Amino acid sequence: MIKNRKDPTQEDLYNWALKRNTMTNKEITDQFNNGQDAKYIYIKYINPLLKQGKLDRIRRGLYTAIDPVTESPVADPIIVASKLREDYYLGYYTALVLYGTAYSTGTQHHICLKPKNKFRKFSYNGIQYTPIYTRDTETNIQTHNHRGHHIRVCGKERLLIELVGSPNNVGGWEQALKSLESLGDINYEKIPSILAKLGNQRLIRKTGYILEILQQHSIFHRHLPEEILETLQDMVQGQPDYIEKNKPGPLNRRWSLYIQPRFSEYLRGI
């Protein structure tokens, strides 16, 4: 810690920032505070380094260092995403990146948070940071160590359900299915309870159908117990629904879903 050192210099902060990668105003103040307030820290350290081109402002209250060799921001998009709100988790494409199963490279990161903590989506250094609103930021959430930062990310089980529920957040069904195809080490026993908590009949049906497809076509999901599919099938209630709104097709009686004939084209390559 530098905070107990007498009269830390601007160079001290810059060297620390290079190692830290991305930091909030509060983190800088906590690290360098020898009894001064945040305004003093900003005036003495942050603002001069911004003017010298050694720090860059990502958005209000969030900073990154500038690499002295490349003269480019060192900001890691995942670390940036994790610093935007305290009550959050990283989902969708960002979670796929953390698990190493994103089918293609994207320029959008997803921060899941409650509506009361909303922020406007913004772009920095070619990356867009997009809020996704949810009522639950605790169920099936894990903490990962990413380059020395504690990152909150949804578990693989919740990630699978989220991609099935909102495939457009990762570019559509093809991107979602081909990313899920290699998402191994899923604890399938957790999925029914997560779905029961969400209480969404359409999501239950879609998840059951997609799991059945993955079981048939992916080596990562061949060990999916049939009992899990039977449990999900027993949860299906009510009138038939559509796997994609306004896209009719034959009725899949097991999952009580109308599935358009061309849906199987999303599965090419799996």
Residues 46 and 117 in one domain: no
Asked if 109 and 140 sit in the same domain, the reply is yes
- Look at residue 7 in the predicted model and tell me its pLDDT: 74
Element housing 178 (H / E) = helix 173-180
Same domain, 32 and 95: no
Do 26 and 84 share a domain, yes or no?
no
- For residue 71, being part of any structural domain is answered with no
Domain count, the chain: 2
| 121-140 confidence digits (pLDDT tens) | 999 999 999 999 999 999 99
4 pLDDT higher than 60: no
Q: What is the pTM of this model?
A: 0.91
Amino acid identity, residue 15? N
> Do 147 and 104 have their domain in common?
yes
| DSSP letters for 96-115 | HHHHT--SS--SEEEEEE-G
* pLDDT for position 182: 94
pLDDT at position 6 is 63
Residue 110 lies in a domain: yes
pLDDT value, residue 36: 72
Q: Which of 209-213, 241-245, 264-268 has the lowest mean pLDDT?
A: 264-268
| Same domain flag for 181 and 131 | yes
Same-domain check for residues 14 and 99: no
Crossing angle for the helix pair 173-180 and 156-165, nearest 10 degrees? 160
**210 close to 176: Cβ distance less than 8 angstroms:** no
Domain containing 248 equals 77-267
Query: Same structural domain for residues 156 and 211?
Result: yes
Burial category of 69 from C-beta neighbours within 10 Å (exposed 0-12, middle 13-18, buried 19 and up): exposed
What is the rounded CA–CA span in Å between residue 107 and residue 111?
Answer: 13
**Co-location of 120 and 213 in the same domain:** yes
Q: Report how far Cα 77 is from the mean position of its chain's Cα atoms.
A: 11
pLDDT single digits (tens) 35-88: 678 888 999 999 999 999 999 999 999 999 999 999 999 999 999 999 999 999
pLDDT digits (tens, 9 = 90+) for 126-178: 999 999 999 999 999 999 999 999 999 999 999 999 999 999 999 999 999 99
pLDDT above 90: residue 265: no
Residue closest to 77 by CA, chosen among 114, 124, 113, 119: 124
Q: Per-residue pLDDT for 1 more than 60?
A: no
Who has greater pLDDT, 261 or 160? 160
pLDDT value at residue 269: 60
Same domain, 41 and 81: no
> Rounded CA gap, 56 and 70, in Å?
14
Mean of all residue pLDDT scores within the chain: 93
Would you say residue 3 lies in a domain? no
DSSP 134-162: -S-SSTTEEEEEETTEEEEEE-HHHHHHH
Whichever domain contains 40, its CATH number is 1.10.10
pLDDT at position 5 over 70: no
